[in-house]
Each structure stands twice: as structure tokens, then as C-alpha cells.
Amino acid sequence: MHSRRPQRLRDIPVAGPVEVVWAKRRFFCDEYLCPRQTFTDETSQVPRRARSTHRLREALAAAVIGSGRAAAEAAASFGVSWWLVQQALDSAALTLPDVDALAPRMLGIDEHRYRSVRFFRDPATKAWKRYEPWMTTIVDLDTEQVLGIVDGRDSEGVGDWLFARPLQWRLGVQVVAIDPSAAVRKALRMWLPRTAVSVDAFHLFKLGNDMLTEVRQRLTQQVHGRRGRSIDPGWANRRLLLRAGDTLSDRARNRLSNVFDTEDATGKLQAAWLVKEQLRALLTTGSLADAAAAKGRLQALVFQAAQPETNRLWRTVCRWWKEIEVLIVTGATTAKSRNVDAFRVQVHCYCDWERHALRSMDSCPGAPGRNILSVGSAPPYRDSSGQLRIERTPPRLYVPAWLRAWRRLRP
């Protein structure tokens, strides 16, 4: 034995922080050609060069993945640093199985913004360009496991991810639920031509509510020449207008009738509200025959309203009618993929897409710590210095707030 030195290790807290002091032994190596010459004790709980136990790292990953807590909160409760929690999450993400080994039947594709807008300088032209920080999440709707996370929300990113999957994998997909995104639908038509595409009902409901809000704002400007105020019945009951009509109480219906009687002299607001309600009735039908009949009633209400907002909504329904029929038959939505987006609050503070993608995969509502990893077209890797890296484009460059304001004000 060469020597014995004390080593302090962080461990799971028990009624407070716990620090383990290990009298680690160092041994000689009798082989004169050995490059190390000496070596120390190693265990499964404390590998070489470790400063914390393996069970502590597992507990940190489980605290974030299983309960959905933020990394900073978990670090404070365990009495460790934020960096140790993030390293435990990175290690958990790298041990996930291969996405090509699965055979998903239903997919959900949803995009969301993971931070505010950033600007970066093009290395070739030296010009500043605006970058929209969007990412697209691909989820197995049966198991709620994340299959892939793609940087951006265009057809090229989703198409490259689907192209990287084996042919048998793509032929096994039966239904894909998406948002009303023409870019994603273009990628699906190219790489999954035999797959039925369903449009998400939530976004269609939101389109109807947005249409009604635009009509209310336009009528307020025409009648009062200003924006809505609390003294206006339409503005005061703006949230009541967006609620489902079949869930209103008698008191709420009386308030709604008062808005139409006092604020809507032309009847245009009530006509737009009826279009919104008919759209909701169409999306909740249980058969294609009932959906076709509801579509006819919706068309009659749209022609009766004769407003640009309702006409635009009708054109959207017609463009996505095939996808709406798949929604009515299968009921496939992107609700389960939006569960992953619920963790945006925890990762929104990240300035880089890599950590946001890893945390989204770790925090997936599927099997804790065993979700599927596939970021873009290439998995994460560690460079020569041991840092976790993920391929991404284009390069980001943070621009201070004062510089962004100066660029907006300059001629």
C-alpha cells in the first residue's frame, strides 16, 4: 500500500446534509511498465475521481424527472450545486435507448418557443440576422415518450429526422397528430405518404376564439374609435365570449345576452360567436356523417355573418378538412406532446438549445429516466475535453438589450 488519504464525498441527506469521509487507500503497481504506477480504491457507488456517490446522482435525477422540479430547487433541497444536478441529468440522457429500436404506432409533433428572440452575425456576410428560437418535439402518443427533438419548426428539420429513420419504422406509423402547420404537413406528405394526419383540436378551438376576438376589437374601433375599456360590456365580458356555450350557467347566459343587446347593434358580434360555437360543435362530433352535417351548418353561418374574419376561418377549415376527418375518427391530438412543453418553465432560463432539449427529454411524462433520445439527426456526444455537445445550426450570439434597442432606433 502506498498511502491512505481521506476523501470527502457528498451523499443523500438524512435529516440534513451528509458528508462521507472515506479513508481511501492508494496502492503501488508492481508492473514496471504500468503507466499509472499507483491506483486507488474504486466501488460501484464511488467510481474513480468521483466527489459524490452514485445514489446521490440517481436521487437528483429522479427528483427532477419524476416530480418535475426545477434543477435549482432540487439542488437547494439536497444541499448541492446546480452543476451537479445538471451533470446527473446529462448522464441520464446519454443512457437512453435508440429510437430506431422502437415501433411507434401514433406520433405527436408539436413545436414551442424555448426562449426569447436572439440575433446572430452571419460569418460570411457579417450581417445581423434574427433567429426565432423554436424547437419541435416528436412524441409517441401511446407511451408518451419523447422520440426526437428538432431545432426549428420547418419542414426541413422534421423531414431530415424522419428520413434518418429506417423504412420499416416509417411504415409502422399509422397516425400522426400535428398542429395546423403547413410545413410539418409537407414533411409528412414526403416521408410518410401512407400515414393518416390528424390536426390538433386545441389549435382549431383557438382559431375560433382568435377570430371572435378580432371581430370584437374591430367593431369596438368602428363604434368607439378606440380600444376597449372596462366600461364597455364587450370588453368587460371578453373572456365570457370565449367560453364554450354549452358550459355557461344561466347567469352567464344572461350576461352574454346583455352584451349582444347593448354592444352589438348590427348583430355582427353575435354572428361571429355563433360561428365559433358551431366550430366547437363540429369538432366534438362522433362520426363523419355528423361532421359533414355540422360543416354545412357552419358554412351557412359563415355566409350569413359575411365578415373577413369568419371567411378566413372557413377557408382554414376547408384546407384542413381531411385532417379534421382523421381527428374525428381517431381522436389523435398533440395533447401528450404538449405535456413535454409544460416543462418549459423549468428550462426557459437556459440560453442554449442543448440543455433545453436534454431537460425536455428527461422530463417526459413517460417512464422516468428511460425516455427515447434523438435530438435532430445526430445524438449528443462528448468532445475531447469531456463536454456534452449536440450538433446544431445556425450559430447563436447573444446581443445585449442596449444594442438591440440601438439597432431599432438607428436610421
- Using the predicted structure, report yes or no on whether residue 123 has a pLDDT greater than 70: yes
CA nearest 112: which of 93, 95, 137, 130? 137
pLDDT (0 to 100) of residue 44: 74
HSE of 338 in the Cβ direction (CA atoms, 13 Å)? 11
Q: Computed from CA positions of residues 275, 281, 284, 289, in that sequence, does the dihedral angle turn out positive or negative? A: negative
Quick one: average pLDDT of 384-411? 50
Burial class (CB in 10 A: 0-12, 13-18, 19+), 379: middle
* DSSP assignment string, 215-265: HHHHHHHHHHSS---TTSHHHHTHHHHHS-GGG--HHHHHHHHHHHHHH-S
- Using the predicted structure, report yes or no on whether residue 148 has a pLDDT greater than 60: yes
Phi, psi of 229 (to 5 degrees): -125, 170
Give the three cell numbers for residue 248. 355557461
Provide the pLDDT confidence category of residue 334 given band limits of 50, 70 and 90.
Answer: confident
Higher pLDDT, 8 or 400: 8
Between CA 330 and CA 317 the distance in angstroms is 18
Phi, psi of 153 (to 5 degrees): -140, 30
112 strand-pairing partners: 135
- Using the predicted structure, report yes or no on whether residue 347 has a pLDDT greater than 60: no
pLDDT (0 to 100) of residue 323: 94
- Using the predicted structure, report yes or no on whether residue 386 has a pLDDT greater than 70: no
Between CA 296 and CA 300 the distance in angstroms is 6
3-state secondary structure of 193: coil
Is there a cis peptide before residue 394, judged by omega within 30 degrees of 0? yes
CA nearest 90: which of 396, 385, 357? 357
83-107: pLDDT as tens digits: 888 878 777 665 556 788 888 999 9
- Using the predicted structure, report yes or no on whether residue 210 has a pLDDT greater than 90: yes
CA nearest 154: which of 180, 182, 128? 182
Contact (CB, 8 A) for 44 and 35: no
Q: Which residue has the cell 468521483?
A: 50
Q: Which residue has the cell 423531414?
A: 159
Burial class (CB in 10 A: 0-12, 13-18, 19+), 407: exposed
Between CA 373 and CA 206 the distance in angstroms is 31
Phi, psi of 97 (to 5 degrees): -75, 175
Look over the chain and give the mean of its residue pLDDT values, rounded to a whole number. 79
